[in-house]
Chain A
């Protein structure tokens, strides 16, 4: 069973469209994340979310918004897509019971191409 799953795996869309990427984790973790990996493979945190708090990276445009219907899901909505949004987006989760030993579990990524 996949621990962190994202859909779709590939997404090709036109500029100006609105799209969503779904993420689900079956690990019972209390914190979920969205990362953006650019063409140079650099991973940048976009959001982290747990039951209590949404932390937004201030550099993320407000066209991006996370939606968490429940603890196991953190979806990413993107409005008015731009060419520069093309990247691979990774969802991840972790359990924050002990920050000393916490590791992140990643989904397989969604390759978004804006044309």
Chain B
């Protein structure tokens, strides 16, 4: 069974609004990462949060991690049309592969 599961599967918002995506996982992790995939392209790493961290910021991105609930959220503030992409969370345990969820497809409408 997959480790990470994003929610919602698809999200449409207007430019300037905030977008929130959630990720749940099942086993213990070392860190959790978020990646973006533009249509027809490879994945690009956005941000990593360690298991002993609760919140992290990078530009317009804010990631939270709740290990007691085995969940994470990615907030994109003041969204832009260029943020339109699929967003994936990936978890890593000790010595394990990156395990990806099914992704959230974000559409930012101008």
Contacts and interface: CB of A to CB of B under 8 A. Distances in A.
A33 B98 contact: yes
Interface size class of A (residues with CB under 8 A): 20 to 34
Query: Which 3 A-B pairs rank lowest in CB-CB distance, beginning with the nearest?
Result: A106-B42, A43-B100, A103-B45
Nearest to B105: A41
Given A99-B95, A100-B31, A103-B33, A90 B88 contact: no
B44 A106 contact: yes
Interface residues of B, number: 27
A101 interface: yes
Nearest to B42: A106
Interface in B38-95: 40-45, 48, 50, 86, 88, 90, 92, 94-95
Given A42-B2, A99-B30, A109-B41, A104 B99 contact: no
Give chain B's interface secondary structure class.
Answer: strand
A64 interface: no
B102 A109 contact: no
Contacts of B103: 41-43
B43 A104 contact: yes
Contacts of A43: 43, 88, 100, 103
Contacts of B98: 33, 45, 92, 94, 104
